[in-house]
Structure 1
Amino acid sequence: MSHPMHDVLGRWKAAFDGHRPGAMAELFTEDALFQGFGPAVVAGQDAVRAYYEAVPDDRRAEVTVLHTYTVGERVAGGFADVTFSDPTGWEAKVHMSLVLRRDDNGWRILQYHVSRVAAGG
């Protein structure tokens, strides 16, 4: 059986690559904490949707899951390396960490954080 991190990130990648902000927001809990490229932490599905609506629709993500963990039956998470890119050659490498929570809707993202990988690092 696959770890929930693999499933959630597979759905996240499909929604991101398809530029579907509504589908992205549905992957998150209603009270999710989210920190993307900006310095501010935002909360909730509406903030997540707004963040992804602002992402150019030609961006894609390559995801490599590095580590997963499970705490009981309702909490899981892990770490991944993600490379965002677009057809112009723009690229941004990040470390991603997720905390997942299982509820009546399945596994969803409770906490999302990315940090850019410095050039040469």
Structure 2
Amino acid sequence: MTDRMTDTSTDPVREILERWKAAFDGHQVETMAGLFTDDALFQGFGPEVTSGRDAVRAYYDAVADDRSADVTVLSTYTIGDQVAGGFADVTFKDPHGWEASVHMSLVLQRENDAWRIRQYHVSRVITDH
């Protein structure tokens, strides 16, 4: 994972994205699902917004297990000690040459002293218009 910002203190978005990347790269579906709140809003590559940890689990379970993600954190913020969010650029890859670049936005919520993803959205980067 790379940063375009200097990390001068603990940043919940960077922490979650490091854990998310490790779980994604290792195809650890249960670990990925555990990073989300029970009622998380989730917008992946599909056209529909889904809700809940079970939907997140099903989404990641359907992802090929040879895919990995390169993550560049662009910006993060916190609101008090209960809410955080940020933006990242992510490139998904597989060993056969497939790539998909997305912009990712996250909203995190602190639950029982742990940060979890409350809202996740990716938007595919299309360079030809």
Question: Secondary structure of 1:87's partner?
Answer: coil
How far residue 66 of structure 1 moved from its aligned partner, in angstroms, is 0.1
Once residues 69 and 39 of structure 1 are traced to their aligned partners in structure 2, the CA distance between those partners, rounded to angstroms, is 27
Alignment of 1:65-104 (within 5 A): 65-104=73-112
Query: In the alignment, which of 34, 37, 60 is matched to residue 68 of structure 2?
Result: 60
Runs of 4+ in structure 1 off by over 3 angstroms are none
How far residue 119 of structure 1 moved from its aligned partner, in angstroms, is 2.9
Letter in 2 for 1:52: Y
| C-alpha distance after superposition, 1:5-47 (max 9, x if no partner) | 0000000000000001111100000010000000100000000
Query: In the alignment, which of 9, 23, 27 is matched to residue 15 of structure 1?
Result: 23
Between the two proteins, what is the percent identity of the paired residues? Answer: 68
Once residues 73 and 117 of structure 2 are traced to their aligned partners in structure 1, the CA distance between those partners, rounded to angstroms, is 15
Once residues 52 and 35 of structure 1 are traced to their aligned partners in structure 2, the CA distance between those partners, rounded to angstroms, is 12
Once residues 48 and 113 of structure 2 are traced to their aligned partners in structure 1, the CA distance between those partners, rounded to angstroms, is 27
Map of 2:52 onto structure 1: 44
Letter in 1 for 2:118: L
TM-score (norm 1): 0.97
Letter in 1 for 2:126: A
Map of 2:125 onto structure 1: 117
| C-alpha distance after superposition, 1:62-102 (max 9, x if no partner) | 00000001111100010000000000000000000000000
> Which blocks of at least 5 consecutive residues in structure 2 are unaligned?
1-8
How far residue 103 of structure 1 moved from its aligned partner, in angstroms, is 1.0
> Which blocks of at least 5 consecutive residues in structure 1 are unaligned?
none
Map of 2:32 onto structure 1: 24
